Every structure is written in structure tokens, then in C-alpha cells.
Structure 1
């Protein structure tokens, strides 16, 4: 496919820019707050995210408010304008709210989902250096644990603005930092309508990572769903051991339970897919015998 060709041409330096130490530091910072949607500390996490995205060159940061019951909740949206007039939009998202068995007391949510939110920030840091042709919205959602409120608010705002048809992909990261064993298995989930998207992630994983890919078409339970429900292509990336994570929705979901190499591999895969979709700078290694610029001969030499 066209995207598989674009994946082969992705500059490996973009993928290699993923920094798991930087990612983990963001997880630690976020896990320092109880990010329960109905609490007060989540406002500190929101402000921290606004500040971190705001440090990135070329990014415009906005917050989006919505109701979760009687609580006002907030999404953080960081928009990086594309260098080309492509008319296309990518959304890279993950929820920053958390919960536990005693959320009024503590909900550190390191894996669920400081890990994914920190992943959104990490990809934003990379693509402000490797500027894409298409516009990317880096989104951190609240209200996910109460019923996908933040993702729904963002998706509905895109529909209302007439932008839904321009969304090439919504990439959702939820629980990307845990593995129960040495098998680095990732679950990639969408619905049958957008099944073709999964091949892009499988190709990126095979090229740039040590991941074993598992796929699912029973999309549920995270912020990609409101986008799928509104006709936008959306994919969830989640570590495949999430259902046996012993600290799931517990006050013990702390950074020490995570394995940074797991997140590093998922972020490498996702960075490659975003780079290919975003027409980020392409690094073409011309095959022997090809004249410079002879892309026909170059593409014919591809495996």
C-alpha cells in the first residue's frame, strides 16, 4: 500500500528519537497527583500538561471543558500545524484521568493512564522537531474512567466544526507501560470498518520494534470508541497484558510497576505510523543503480 511504502521511507531517526527516560519522568510527574475526574488534584495535572505542551515550539495549547455529572472536566489539546496544506488532520490522544478502589483518597494511575498520556507528550516532543506536513492534535482527555466523556467531547467538537471527514486517524494510547513477562505483546484495536489500518501498525512494529502484535475488532472501553462511533478511523494501542495487571484501578498503580522498554517499543511503532501518515521528512535510501530522483526505479527495488 501507499502507506507501507511511506513506512519504508520513514527516517529511522524519528523513531530513534523516542526517549523512554523522558517518557518515564512524565509518568512519575503525573502519578504524583490523584487524577480522579471528580477531585481537585486533576486540575494540577491539567495545568502541568498545559505547561509542558506550551514549551514546545509551534504548538498552540487550548483546554476544552465539558460536564461529567455535576463536575466540570477538562481536555488539554495541543495543536501542531502541518507545514503543508493537506487538509488532513491526525489526532494522537490518551486520557490523563485515573481511578482506583478509593479514588477520593488516592488514584496514582501510573499505568492507567499516565503511561499513555506521557506517550502523547513524548510524540509531541518528537514531531515538533520533525515537523509533519499534516496538522496533528495531541490530546489528553479527562472523564475517561466515568464513560469516555473526554474523548466524546473532542470527537463531537470535530464533528460540529465539520472537521471529522479530514481526520486521517485518531491514535489512542491507553496502558502502554506494563508487561507481565519478556514477551513484548501489544494489542491493536479498531472496528471492522477500519481493519486496513491495523496493517500499518503491524508493518511499523515489524520494521522498528521487538513487539508481537495482537489485533482486535471489538472496540470498547477507551477514547478511540467515540471517534469510531462518529465515523472517524481510530485505533487503540494497549499492552496486551493489561487485563492481568495486578494494580489495575488500584491505589498501588505506581510507576515502579512499569517496564519502560514496553512503552518504548509501543511509542516507536506509533511514531513510525504517525510519521508515515503525516508525511514527515522522508529519508530515502536510493538502491544501487538508481539515478537520484528516479523514484520509479527506487520503488521497483522495494521488497
Structure 2
């Protein structure tokens, strides 16, 4: 039998596979006592009939988020329910029974989140609009009154026009004949690196190039006053798609990379003196599989005997900066200071990642307003709280802040997999963006107001995470 015939038969079997029964949410009371159910988007799924071929045990079902196109054939075969970008799989032998690995280290629409076991009465979003993330009642910025004034000065300097100015310059780059930042175009990549390096240096930052293979990320450094306090990274990838031809990548991810520049300039103009060292990172090669951020995070965490933060003293920032960009990165400050303290680095390093932060979805009700989704595990609560708190301070109720605890498909994954607290900012309903990885991903798709608000939120959160000497 030909491969094509096998594929056709597989798809046919998938189409006819048993599915979990569905109900309208108002009909939950009609279910028998002891019957499990879960809300999935705008409907309920519940325990199937005994003759359905599916298990009646809710613990035999798992869910994950990701594009339909990212699902493997095996996942398609085992999918028995879902809504939008949410998928429910029938795995009676457990999530480790899958013969094929989950596509996790890849771009946004080529990967899925980790599998989570379904529970009775779970309420799951369809990924168009996640639940709101409220600022905790006991939340504090952690800044002094003088520090808050410095934060306000820096963040207030970020406007739609200033954010768009940086974005227009970045999007205009190319190889001399084609507008592109494709990682597979050496000339375009080199021009992008030169542009980013020049921009950071004009702002007065120390700059280095982190090279790996034929790719180059650009990293700028602002040294903090407290060597033992740790450090914070603000990052976004600068490469774009399609890999060939016109690839302006205005939303994905010119918006994130240019926002890094906009925030860096705001801090430089305000002459911010942080307590923690800050690194501004323009990651290379996210599109082929998070390569730039993975290299960056690996260098942060590379295991060795190493020098600790305390031993590094006032030279901490420069030493870590050198190790981030050296040809042979040596011991890691982070690893040396987190041994024996669990797998999650709660204090020494935190990261803010911005990817696709400029398109306002027409699929979300106008009355809801512009939306940003904060995507990370709940255990990164410190970073989540500062993002939500900063948005409340600088955007008020003009920006709806939501949260997903099922991260996947962008540079925050490179940090989270190593236990580093990291949060992705991404505009709401990112799956609905119609020009993803297309030549039409141009400046016309950018909503300047939404773009500026998300940039301001990240600028405020960065300063709150880093602390300010004032």
C-alpha cells in the first residue's frame, strides 16, 4: 500500500473516531449523579456511553493547547474533543504511552503545550480569550516613591508614535533587494545584526553578539548596583518568515524585537539605575525552533563549578555578559546559586519575552477592548504579578490582561524548561491572525495603541523586577 493511501486511511479513521458527547452548559444538571463533565469553550463534554469505545474515567483524558496543524498523526487519532486551539486526547494508558514525542520546541503554530490530565468540572478556554489575570490585592511594585517616579518618567516616554518609529526602521531591513529578516538569508541576517548593534550602542549600552553556528543574537547590558540581587532579561526574536521572498514580519516578530529597542531607549533616556542587571536580547532564529533563546538560556544555566553572584561582586554584570557572548561560555552564575534549592529559579534570573504584540483581533468583541495574554506557568507568579500591576498602573482599564497556564511555541519556553521564571506577552487570539508567516505581515496590520500599551506594560514590569536606585 502506498504512503498516500495509508495517509488517506488514517485520516478517514480519525474523522470517524469516537468523540466525547457534548452538551450546552445549561444542561449540566441533566447529567446523572457521579457523571463527570468539563466546560470546553462554549460547551460541556462529559463521560461517554459504555458502548462508545471510550473510557468512562475522567483521568484517562488529557488536554493541550496548540494549532491543529501542529498535532502529530497520533495526536489527531487520539483527539476526542476540544474547541479552537484546545484539544482533548483519550490516553487510557497515560500520557507517556504516546509513541511520538509532543512537538514542543518549535514556533507558535508548530508546537503544543504539555499534556495536562483532565479533571471533573474543569473550565477550559478555547484559547481565543483566556480568563482575566487580576492584580492581587496585596500586590506592591516593590519600588520606593522615588523609584516609582523614575518608572513613570520612563514609561510615559513610550507612545504609539515612538513605538512605531522603532518598528518601521526594523521592518524596513532586508538584503538590499528584498524586505526580509529570514534566518536563512545570510545578508538580511547580517544587516539585522548590524542595525540592532548600532541602535543599542547609540543608546549607550554595552553590546555583544552571541554567535552559534551561522546565527547571531544581539545582547545589550545595563549593570545593576546589587551583584547579589540577580538579573532580568527582556527579549524578543528579530527573525521573520516566509523564509524566502518578501518577509517584513511586522507583527511576527518585528513588534517584539522593536519593543525591546523602544524600552531600552526609554530606560537610557530616563538614566535608570537598576539594582539588578538588565539584559536586552534580540534573539536570532526563533522561527526554525527557538534556537536563539535556547542558546541564550543554555549559556545562563550551563553547569560547572562556577563563580557565584556573591564572589563576582561588582563585576557580576560584566562577567556574566562575557559568558553570555564568549565563544566558550564557562560556568554559570545561575546554576551555582540554585543548586539544592529546587528546579525552579525563584530569584536569580527572570525573563520577559514579547512575541506578536501588535495585532488587535476582530474575533474578540469590541466591547472587550484590546487584549494581551500573559502566557506562563502559574509558578512564575512574581513575573505575572508585575506585568499585570504595571499594566494597571500605566494602562488602567484600557488593556484587558488575560492569562494562560499552558505555555508553548515561543522563546519563553527556553527559559521555563530550565526553571527560570519567564512570561510571554502576546496579543489576544493570536491564532486568529490571518497573515501569520506571510508576506502580508506588514505595518498595516499593526494597531499602534495596543502595541504601545503592551510595550509600556513590559517596560514597567522590567523596572519593577529589576528595582531602581533613586
TM-score range, shorter chain: 0.7 to 0.9
Shift of 1:8: 8.4
Query: Which of 66, 79, 83 is 2:225 aligned to?
Result: 83
1:192 has 2:378 as partner: yes
Match of 2:212 in 1: 66
CA distance in 2 between counterparts of 1:113 and 1:238 reads 10
Shift of 1:115: 0.5
TM-score, normalised to structure 1, is 0.85
Preserved contact between residue 376 and residue 424 of structure 2 (Cα < 8 Å) = yes
CA distance in 2 between counterparts of 1:85 and 1:200 reads 22
CA distance in 2 between counterparts of 1:81 and 1:19 reads 26
Shift of 1:281: 4.7
Q: Paired residues, what number?
A: 275
Larger radius of gyration: 2
Match of 1:201 in 2: 387
Residues 134-177 of structure 1 show CA distances to partners (whole Å, capped at 9, x for unaligned) of 11000001110000000000000111242335643100000111
Preserved contact between residue 170 and residue 233 of structure 1 (Cα < 8 Å) = yes
Shift of 1:86: 4.0
The structure-2 alpha-carbon separation of the partners of 1:143 and 1:87, relative to structure 1 and needing over 3 Å to count, comes to: same
CA distance in 2 between counterparts of 1:260 and 1:8 reads 31
Residues 8-55 of structure 1 show CA distances to partners (whole Å, capped at 9, x for unaligned) of 852222221213322212211222221111112121011100000011
Match of 1:228 in 2: 416
Shift of 1:250: 0.5
Preserved contact between residue 73 and residue 143 of structure 1 (Cα < 8 Å) = yes
Shift of 1:180: 2.4
CA distance in 2 between counterparts of 1:207 and 1:25 reads 24
CA distance in 1 between counterparts of 2:169 and 2:451 reads 16
Preserved contact between residue 241 and residue 438 of structure 2 (Cα < 8 Å) = yes
Shift of 1:196: 4.4
CA distance in 2 between counterparts of 1:87 and 1:63 reads 25
Preserved contact between residue 178 and residue 241 of structure 1 (Cα < 8 Å) = no
Matches within 5 A, 1:18-37: 18-32=158-172, 33=174, 34-37=180-183
The structure-2 alpha-carbon separation of the partners of 1:242 and 1:109, relative to structure 1 and needing over 3 Å to count, comes to: same
Shift of 1:272: 1.4
SS at structure 2 position matched to 1:219:
coil
CA distance in 2 between counterparts of 1:7 and 1:257 reads 36
Preserved contact between residue 375 and residue 404 of structure 2 (Cα < 8 Å) = yes
1:178 has 2:359 as partner: yes
Query: Which of 272, 275, 300 is 2:460 aligned to?
Result: 272
CA distance in 1 between counterparts of 2:458 and 2:144 reads 14
Shift of 1:6: 2.1
1:168 has 2:355 as partner: no
What are structure 1's unaligned runs of at least 5 residues? 283-303
1:6 has 2:151 as partner: no
Preserved contact between residue 3 and residue 277 of structure 1 (Cα < 8 Å) = no
The structure-2 alpha-carbon separation of the partners of 1:73 and 1:91, relative to structure 1 and needing over 3 Å to count, comes to: same
Match of 2:185 in 1: 39
- Please give the root-mean-square deviation of Cα atoms over the aligned residues, in Å: 1.9
Shift of 1:193: 2.6
Match of 2:238 in 1: 96
The structure-2 alpha-carbon separation of the partners of 1:8 and 1:80, relative to structure 1 and needing over 3 Å to count, comes to: closer
Preserved contact between residue 35 and residue 108 of structure 1 (Cα < 8 Å) = yes
What are structure 2's unaligned runs of at least 5 residues? 1-135, 175-179, 303-330, 339-346
Query: Which of 250, 257, 269 is 1:117 aligned to?
Result: 257
CA distance in 2 between counterparts of 1:150 and 1:5 reads 31
Match of 2:426 in 1: 238
SS at structure 1 position matched to 2:140:
helix
Shift of 1:5: 4.0
Preserved contact between residue 141 and residue 389 of structure 2 (Cα < 8 Å) = no
1:142 has 2:330 as partner: no
